[in-house]
A and B are shown apart, each in its own frame.
Chain A
């Protein structure tokens, strides 16, 4: 006669932290030896870095050049302009975070950014009297945005337009309107730089998204003209490194257009190059997703009488994009760091500022130099943002069940 066997606890040494350590670190004499040797090495290196950072490093130059790192040569009396753009950005993200506060990922990203802003605000309140109010304003804007999002979740529907408006107004505010002096005087793009420029270039991922989708669909088109133009564009762009395209954009483009390079600001040229480069990779990511959608999906849609465009936009694309969101986030992380390549065409982005600071007379007088400190600082900032995006990507994968299906 059938009887259910009651579950028994696992045998000793299998479950729990102790069991894990025994199984994975000390399972044999050789493993024990390896564990001890690597353990000693890791502790030694870690300790050295910490001791160096605390006692030997000279952080004075990093501290003294925060404005260069943030905005490069953007005039000090006009800092309210980039800060206003930042405040507007945080407010919009706040609306998103507030309206989507049940979404763990959106909420987490928003509060991470707020934590970063709050951290800088505290420092500004303590040490930087000139930008105190501005940073407090950014923090306040984030929280107000969040509150608005909580109170009026329906506002998200207008957000795409708000972002477009932000993009254009933000550009004009940064660039200025009137020549000469005054609150809205023009700041030539050669004075833009630092982390501000890195963020500006990073936004190139946004236009590259629809562009990449269009290219991916074009590559699968039945019309030969569209197909070969898209395929050609993707393959040619992917066939050369980003640095080369930056060169092309900064040196050859003005030549081909027969125009003075100064008529096309270097930032704009780099922006276009980065966007198109990113679009080509985006297209290949999206194409991977399109191929992952089974043929039966298209057939079922067509059999129901849906047209070609309806099938693509309602059935195929939503599934394809869902499948490649992690890849797209990965691309965004890559692009965020790749923007540092614009130093090659003379732009002073966040990364480039390290070299500039390292070559200041004040830096050169420090015994042992300050490059290590500068690069460590820059690396930490890059790491904070890249790792945060990476966490979000992993949460996203889990939420979408991509890895498990």
Chain B
């Protein structure tokens, strides 16, 4: 029986919702290394999906495939009705509808906070500067740092920088937000302020895929948790399921380390 490929674990969105992301049979290699194996995942509008797993398990690569920062070799990825192919127009279309927040913030150090936020709306959405700045200030207010608009990223704390990054993504008006370990590079005392913003966002109904180890966040607003290991989806369930009764031995071993 060892030659038969095992059936992959499916992480389908609950029925009844409207799927905004659909991933079917996704496979990806870095050179010879098979980093993502038979991923099947769909996400409903308004859902918050938390992805956990040990480092090197492919969780970051997975969400980076969703806005095509990483190219996939096999399978389909459909975001808001647009399939990601080699067609640059499709890629740009998807990127406009997905905001991403990175572990290392990736703010543009040569631009002020306001310029960081308004750059893409002005250049990509072709908004007027006044309109873009108005929206930018609205979201800066929302993430709780309206007074930092004219500073440069280097003058802000890590937590403030990450909140600017969230505001930058939100100002584009995305339908999906991707978070790639947004709190991993932060000092412990400022993680809370970033999580607060994310929780508020989730409660407003934003569709979010969050790669994180913050199980408290998962428990508070997560609809589903996906555990990945070795490029595969190992187990899917509600946050409670993972806290109370994880099924797989790998999952138990991992959770015992982070909880």
Contact = CB atoms under 8 A, between A and B. Distances in A.
Interface of A: 294, 296-297, 299-307, 310, 314-315, 318-319, 322
B108 A315 contact: yes
A303 B95 contact: yes
B106 A297 contact: yes
A299 B102 contact: yes
Closest 8 interchain pairs by CB?
Answer: A300-B106, A304-B120, A296-B106, A303-B100, A305-B124, A305-B96, A305-B95, A318-B110
Given A296-B106, A299-B106, A303-B169, 16 more contacts: A294-B104, A294-B106, A297-B108, A300-B165, A302-B69, A303-B98, A303-B99, A304-B119, A304-B120, A304-B124, A305-B95, A306-B124, A310-B123, A310-B124, A314-B123, A319-B109
Given A310-B123, A318-B110, A319-B110, A304 B104 contact: no
Nearest to B154: A405
Interface string B50-76: 000000000000000001010000000
A302 B172 CA distance: 13
28 contacts: A294-B104, A296-B102, A296-B104, A297-B106, A299-B69, A299-B106, A300-B100, A300-B107, A300-B165, A301-B108, A302-B69, A303-B95, A303-B98, A303-B100, A304-B95, A304-B119, A304-B120, A304-B168, A304-B172, A305-B92, A305-B95, A305-B120, A306-B120, A306-B123, A318-B110, A319-B109, A319-B110, A322-B110
Nearest to B117: A304
Contacts of A299: 69, 102, 106
Given A300-B106, A310-B123, A318-B110, A305 B172 contact: yes
Given A296-B104, A310-B123, A314-B123, A303 B110 contact: no
Interface residues of B, number: 23
Nearest to B93: A305
Given A305-B124, A305-B172, A314-B123, A300 B108 contact: yes
B207 to A, nearest CB: 16
A307 B92 contact: yes
A322 B152 CA distance: 15
A314 B119 CA distance: 9
A197 to B, nearest CB: 38
